[in-house]
């Protein structure tokens, strides 16, 4: 019998969680779990729209799994998130660093990419339907 995958959730290693929260909350994610580490957050789960992302600080990772501490600091994620309304994403994330200016791809997506405050790249894509032109 082959393994059955039930869900994949990105765990993004970051220096500090607090500066990352406005980015994720702007696109409708809410904190469902917060775990302190010293005098700040060490781990958080954000959920919304049936999706989930986790943020964990480098220090928290080092204390939890020391063998992965160095690798966590070097890791950078590239997330691809399908959305219903690319215009809403651009309005919500105005002021955040754009990595990939809005474009239409050969595979029919309108995309825009950002550097979230933890250093990871997040591309949002709208496929078909709706108005892909800037509002």
CA distances from 80 to 13, 28, 125 (A): 17, 16, 7
Q: Which residue has the higher pLDDT, 5 or 98?
A: 98
Instruction: Pick the closest to residue 84 from 28, 43, 8, 33 (CA basis).
Output: 28
Q: For residue range 28-68, what is the model confidence (pLDDT) as tens digits?
A: 999 999 999 999 999 999 999 999 999 999 999 999 999 99
Q: For residue range 82-130, what is the model confidence (pLDDT) as tens digits?
A: 999 999 999 999 999 999 999 999 999 999 999 999 999 999 999 985 4
Instruction: Pick the closest to residue 12 from 104, 116, 84, 83 (CA basis).
Output: 116
Q: What is the pTM of this model?
A: 0.90
User: How much is the pLDDT for 51?
Assistant: 96
């Amino acid at each position: 019998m082959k393994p059955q995958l039930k869900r994949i959730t990105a765990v993004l290693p970051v220096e500090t969680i607090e500066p990352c929260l406005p980015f994720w909350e702007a696109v409708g994610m809410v904190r469902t779990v917060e775990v302190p580490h010293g005098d700040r957050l060490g781990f958080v789960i954000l959920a919304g729209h049936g999706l989930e992302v986790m943020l964990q600080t480098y220090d928290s990772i080092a204390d939890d799994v020391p063998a992965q501490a160095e690798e966590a600091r070097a890791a950078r994620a590239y997330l691809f998130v399908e959305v219903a309304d690319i215009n809403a994403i651009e309005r919500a994330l105005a002021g955040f660093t754009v990595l990939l200016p809005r474009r239409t791809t050969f595979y029919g997506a309108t995309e825009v990419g950002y550097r979230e405050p933890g250093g990871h790249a997040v591309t949002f894509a709208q496929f078909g339907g709706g108005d892909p032109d800037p509002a």
